[in-house]
Amino acid sequence: MRTILQSVLVFAFMLEAGCALASDAPPPSATGIDLQGEAFRSLRDPFWPVAFKPVSESEKIENSKIDDLRAKISWPALPLRGVTHAGGKNYVAVIEGIGLVEAGDIVVKEQDSLIYRWRIDKVTSVGISSTRLDVTEKGDH
């Protein structure tokens, strides 16, 4: 019983001493560290992946301009000419100007000095589903 009482008293003393030390610490603004400045925002978070760098404000503005341009691009259709059974549960599709495609293929189509790329996600008996990947100018390659 005596050792428990001693432990409780030592713990209470340490807790009180810690609170006193914490109250003596100056506020963050008094230490000279600017918590709102650019230097603080550029500090590395230890939980970021290796080589990760957060996007700056100027990059965010530039990315929004690119997104606006992407919204203005008119993607051409992939003219599907037919679907055929390729064995098992697999199907292949015939796209005009491209040829036979199956799930996982990357399809490239040139039109109006632009190069469009799609990924064929799925080919079924009723058609295809694809994901738009990117658009580049012919001279960029």
pLDDT tens string 77-107: 899 999 998 888 889 999 999 999 999 999 9
Q: How far from the centroid of its chain's Cα atoms is residue 3's Cα?
A: 57
What is the overall mean pLDDT for the chain? Answer: 78
- 102-111: list long-range contacts, CB under 8 Å, 24+ apart: 106/133, 107/78, 109/76, 109/78, 110/138, 111/76
**pTM confidence score:** 0.50
With a pLDDT cut of 70, the percent of the chain lying above it is 63
